[in-house]
Structure formats: structure tokens, C-alpha cells
Amino acid sequence: MKRVTAQSMRDAFGVESASHMRYLIFSGKAAAEQFPNVARLFRALAASGKARATRHYEQASRLLGEYCVNFSTPFFLERTMDNITKAWEACKDAAEEFYPACTAVARSQNELHAAKEFEWFAQVEKNHSDMLRTVLGFIEHAAEEPKIGDLRVCDICGLVIEGKPPEDCPVCEAKSSFLISVE
């Protein structure tokens, strides 16, 4: 793998490992504030970060070594309503800036496998920002815990799916056995 694409992958591993951890922390906070559905949604987002971080790590580790990882990430921990807003902003940034830039780098270096995965992840983040926007809208109007259906996470691309699961993942086409239920 070309050097700059590999570095994008390492930095993306850093971003997703940090997001995974932040969502676990947000989930604990939501549970403590009596928002069990939001806590479950944050657990799903944490599992999504884990799926992507794992793919980045596995691929980056083909070039064995100790490397620097550099990324920008929000440090933020407030009430659950504000944490949802921050999560929405972070997903929007990943969908509109971070993963499209990674995709452009990989494509310019003819790293087509990496480019395809980065593109999936931009789509996944767009879906998540839409989902969080809906939850925010509900809470703003109803001032109560939103209803959120069954959640599954695609173990390949990290897409969070609410409600009845599709046959295959609509982003990466993984079989339904890869769609893992979130309790």
C-alpha cells in the first residue's frame, strides 16, 4: 500500500478508536440520565466505530511498525441532549470532510480497495448524521426520550440499521449474518 494512503488509514484508526470510546462514555451518561434508548443508540455507534477501526487496523498492520497517529477530535462531555448534538456534528464532518478526503487520496494513488472502503464509511457517517438529526428533532419538540426501534450494526462497514433488517447491508452488501443486534 502507498505510504500516504497507509497513513490515512492509520489516522482513521485513531479517529474511530477515539469515537468508539467517546460513544461508550456518552452511552454511560445517557443511561445515568434515564435515556435508555439514546444509551442504546450510542452503544450502536460505538460498535460501528469498532467495526471500522478493526478494518483500518487489520489493513494498516500489513505494514508492520510503530507509527505516529495524528487527528483532530472533539473533547466534549455535557448533558445527553448536547452530546447528541456533538455526535451529529462529528458524523457530519466525517461524512463531508474526513472520509471524502481519505477517498480522494486513495483514488489518486490508485489504491482502489482502500478508496472503496473510505467511500463506504463516508456513506455510513451520512446515514448516522441523518439518524442523529431525527433523534434531535424529536427531543427538541417532545422533550422526552425518543422511540428507537431494534438496532443492528454491520460488522463490515459499521452501518447502524434501525427496525426490520434488510437481506444484505445496503452500503457494503454484506450478508445478513454480519448484521449484529445491539442490546
Positions that interact with its own copies (CB under 8 A): 10, 13-14, 16-18, 20-22, 24-25, 50, 53-54, 57-58, 60-61, 63-77
Between 70 and 141, CB nearer to its own copies: 70
- All cell numbers assigned to 88: 451529529
Among residues 71 and 138, whose Cβ is nearest to its own copies? 71
Q: Whole-angstrom Cα distance, residue 117 to residue 113?
A: 6
For residues 148 and 182, which CB has a smaller minimum distance to its own copies in the complex?
A: 182
DSSP 2-18: -HHHHHHHHHHHHHHHH
In the complex, what is the shortest distance from the CB of residue 65 to its own copies, in angstroms, rounded to a whole number? 6
Residue 167, classified by CB atoms within 10 Å of its CB into exposed (0-12), middle (13-18) or buried (19+), is exposed
Closest to its own copies by CB, 7 or 127: 7
Q: Report the nearest approach of its own copies to the CB of residue 86 (Å).
A: 9
- C-alpha 132/C-alpha 81 separation (Å) is 11
Say if CB 53 and CB 20 are below 8 A apart: yes
Minimal distance, residue 16 CB to its own copies, in Å: 8
Work out how close the CB of 145 gets to its own copies at its nearest, in angstroms, rounded to a whole number.
24
Closer residue to its own copies in complex, CB, 102/148: 102
Using an 8 Å Cβ cutoff, are 91 and 41 in contact? no
**Smallest distance, its own copies to C-beta of residue 23, A:** 11
